Chains A and B, each alone.
Chain A
Amino acid sequence: EVQLVESGGGLVKPGGSLRLSCAASGFTFTNAWMTWVRQAPGKGLECVGRIMSKTDGGTTDFAAPVKDRFTISRDDSKDTLYLQMNSLKTEDTAVYYCTTDMGDVWGQGTTVIVSS
């Protein structure tokens, strides 16, 4: 079964850090470009960032609101994608989804709450 499972969400204070993980199964993760998408409470979807496959260069791109604060990495030996979030702000509060860049496979989402 093709599946993505996120983990690592939780409550963190403003200025803090959190690392999200996304475990992939059922498809060739090594070849996949992967994207993180978030959705603030009651709001729409927002692309956070994307990482290419290593064979395509492994380059990352980020949306302006998170650039220089968030990083994306991947461990192809573990079929796992990561989102490292630093200097968190209250406006980063959202459900975070990992998805294939094509958008055909999504995880169930993990909730991040940034609050003092």
Chain B
Amino acid sequence: QSALTQPASVSGSPGQSITISCTGTSSDVGGYNHVSWYQQHPGKAPKLMIYNVSYRPSGVSNRFSGSKSGNTASLTISGLQAEDEADYYCNSYTSSSTRVFGTGTKVTVL
């Protein structure tokens, strides 16, 4: 199972909105509404930000939103803040009954 494809880096100024894409196939992203997004700060464990494509866990800011179209899922961060600077990973259920992560995207707040 190949990793899902994400851009290596995305940047934006405070207050701006950015979108991170996550491209897979019909055997993973396109075939299931089980796409999650994780935020990881250096040296820390990942934190769930979005599950089932567009649902936010309790406690996650509503500045984070998710969507999906075909084989590509997206995470949008609006009103970018300094604390959003981190690595972001998408994750999808697959037809092999396993899960696969994306390649990861480093978000930089300019």
Contact = CB atoms under 8 A, between A and B. Distances in A.
B91 interface: yes
**Could you say which interface size class chain B belongs to?**
20 to 34
B38 A45 contact: yes
Interface in A48-82: 50, 61-64
Nearest to A59: B97
Contacts of B48: 102-104
Interface string B46-63: 111001000001000000
A21 interface: no
A37 B39 CA distance: 15
A44 B89 CA distance: 8
Given A44-B104, A103-B91, 15 more contacts: A37-B46, A44-B89, A45-B89, A45-B91, A47-B98, A63-B1, A63-B98, A97-B45, A101-B99, A103-B38, A104-B48, A104-B51, A104-B57, A106-B46, A106-B47
